[in-house]
Chain A
Amino acid sequence: MMSARLLRHETILAVLTVIALFVLAMLSDKFFTGENLLNQGRLMSEVGLVALAMTFVIVTGGIDLSVGSILGLTAILLGVFWKYLGLPLPAAIVLAMACGTFAGWVNGWIITRFNVPPLIATLATLALYRGLAEGISEARSVRGYPEWFFFFGQGEVLGVPFQLWILGIATVIAAVILGLTPFGRATYAIGANEVAARFSGIRVNATKLWIYSAAGFLSALAAVIFVSRVTTTRSDMGTGLELDVITGVVLGGTSIFGGRGTIIGTVLGLILIQALKNGLALSGVKGDGTIVVIGLVLIGAILVGALFDRNRGG
């Protein structure tokens, strides 16, 4: 019965997305072209990667506000390791991503070890990690990366942007883990009732540590793609990313209280947002007007979901 309900939310969302795509294609003939869609996929990848991990985080009943700051910190470290410490670029990438993953682990450690609510723990690390990025970089940007590095953010494989492949593979892995493995079932169990999960022998803290570390890792991966796409590093990179990510996940039907949500829903939510942003821009709505629409869609979608739930007595 639970899966029936989940599927129903996603069905509504899928129908909504198809309608949006259809209307947007009617409004502008530039929208439904292969080139534009692939380009939109490229722009969606960074938010998308982080949203996969955020789905796990929110399903456990947590939240991670620090992902944008982890992205900024990783980007700065990548530049500093390479340019100022003179490491070879591949080593700098690996090391910076390790730091980003560690930053995510620290979130999980604070949350599990000290019982700090995730909202407040990651609010603190949001400021801390962004502050470290600002302090380390002192507002200097790093440029002049070698040509091969731009492949991650600008290259194509078989005509499809490289990062869209990464996002696709990561989506499949995340969907399999959350939907089909004991780890995924533990994730749902923690979100549904943490105390019960603990008493039924689920290793709650270890599971959460893995999930927050994964959020750090995927934010760091997004950072590398971001730097490669825009060819420079700045300490303000990824500012506000957390809001885009959470909007996508919540729109995708993941309950902010935990225990419910799927990767497919998240992906649909992301596609709907990106399509709205792009389609409205193409049909003449000014850039900031689209943010208003996204806010309205978010509240509207949750409102409809809440009303449906009430009718079912859930």
Chain B
Amino acid sequence: MSASASIAPPGRSAFQRFLSGYGQEIVVFLSIIFLFVVVGAINPRFLSDTNINSIFAGNAYIAVAAIGMSMIIMAGHIDVSVGALIGVIATIAGTLAVNGYPVWIAWLVPIIFSMAVNAGVGALVAYTRIPSIVVTLGMLSILKGGLISATAGAWITNMPAEFMIAQMRPFGIPSAVYFMVALTILASFFIKYTDFGRSIYAVGGNMEAARAAGINPERVVVGVFALHGFFAGVAGILFATQLQVIQSTVPPNLELTVITASVIGGVSILGGTGTVIGSTLAAILFACIGSALIFLNVSAYWLRAVLGLMILATVLADMARRRRAK
């Protein structure tokens, strides 16, 4: 319960409440600062504009997808098909843009498609009680196979310049960063201050208790999946427009990166707790670590081993904290 921002025992100072409510987020944030200071001192090029830009802008789509994934996990579910979905969205968007449709159609249609697909998944999960891991495992096959059979992996190039939303730079900052920051803040307020947002925690914590409290858990699950579809859709558009080419394939291991960002950011895999600020910070932390290893001349081959160790350490720390909290 300690990771939930809204629940804290009374009789403690605001500062203590802040610390206990955002423990995981603070740890992740300090890790990012620590990395910047230490790696920047060893190799100042780590702090160059180009590198900082590539860390934040190049990984914003992962952070955006992790917002939706965090809500899914808070509600006690999981989606292993999000990487395939992002690949499909990027391909649909690119195809529409290349074939001369107005850019707003090329942006909006894939997002609506993504929300519809995920609402369908949510309905299957909520009303037939098939575990989300099974449904999304099936979706992963369907999306991946469907994408490759439809496109044969053909690259999409020559997209119109006005379509490339992730590359636009209002006030000198890549627009992907605006999306990441704005959506994280919006989602935080949404989860904390709306009835629907709070009912996500309730359903994830205990579905039957939520029902007894007057929440319709099935409707919440469908809604959460549809929302997750929205964030995956935006992530797919950012992914599609950040480079000059769309590869029409499923980005390898993307679902794993997204799930990991959510979990490291403090969303408990058991459901019921966590915040989306943490998952965005964790996505940035990953990008920093990946970049730092390169600037420290550590072989890129070891990147995934380091990430794996980090996940494990975080999970064990989370379990230890829970045990103490009991």
Contacts and interface: CB of A to CB of B under 8 A. Distances in A.
Given A131-B307, A135-B299, A247 B145 contact: no
Interface stretch (A22-30, A160-168, A192-200, A294-302): A294-302
Interface in B180-231: none
Contact of A116 (B140, B256, B301, B316): B316
Given A114-B319, A295-B138, A303-B130, A128 B308 contact: yes
Interface size grouping (class) on chain A:
35 or more
A288 B144 contact: yes
Interface in B141-156: 141-142, 144-149
A270 B306 CA distance: 34
Given A124-B315, A135-B302, A246 B260 contact: no
B304 A131 contact: yes
Contacts of A294: 141, 145
A116 B319 contact: yes
A289 B149 contact: yes
A147 to B, nearest CB: 31
Contacts of A120: 263, 269, 315
Contact of B303 (A131, A137, A299): A131
Contacts of A132: 305, 308
Contacts of A257: 131
A123 interface: yes
Contacts of A290: 145
Interface in A55-87: 63
Contacts of B260: 123, 127
A131 B302 contact: yes
B138 A296 contact: yes
Contacts of A296: 138, 142
Contacts of A169: none
Interface in A102-117: 110, 114-117
A127 B260 CA distance: 10
Contacts of A114: 316, 319-320
A173 interface: no
A247 B137 contact: yes
A314 to B, nearest CB: 11
A124 B138 contact: no
A248 to B, nearest CB: 11
Given A117-B269, A121-B315, A125-B308, A292 B130 contact: no
B303 to A, nearest CB: 7
Given A129-B308, A306-B128, A246 B145 contact: no
A295 B139 contact: yes
A307 B141 CA distance: 23
A194 B247 CA distance: 46
A101 B181 CA distance: 44
Nearest to B151: A288
A216 B320 CA distance: 26
A126 interface: yes
Contacts of A119: 78, 133, 269
Contact of B149 (A127, A128, A286): A286
Given A119-B269, A124-B312, A134 B302 contact: yes
Interface string B297-326: 001011111111101100110011001000
Task: Select the residue from B128, B146, B147, B312 with max chain A CB neighbours within 10 A.
Answer: B312
Interface in A222-243: 239, 243
A122 B225 CA distance: 24
Contacts of B173: none
Contacts of A214: none
Contacts of B270: 117
A298 B315 contact: no
B134 interface: yes
Nearest to B316: A114
A117 B124 CA distance: 24
B304 to A, nearest CB: 3
Given A123-B259, A288-B144, A128 B305 contact: yes
B12 interface: no
B135 interface: yes
18 contacts: A115-B323, A121-B312, A123-B256, A125-B312, A126-B308, A131-B309, A132-B305, A134-B305, A139-B301, A243-B80, A286-B149, A290-B145, A291-B141, A292-B142, A296-B138, A298-B138, A299-B134, A299-B138
Given A123-B263, A134-B302, A299-B138, 13 more contacts: A123-B260, A124-B311, A124-B312, A125-B308, A126-B256, A127-B260, A129-B308, A131-B308, A132-B308, A135-B301, A239-B252, A292-B149, A296-B142
Q: Which 5 A-B pairs have the closest CB atoms?
A: A128-B308, A131-B305, A295-B141, A291-B145, A131-B304
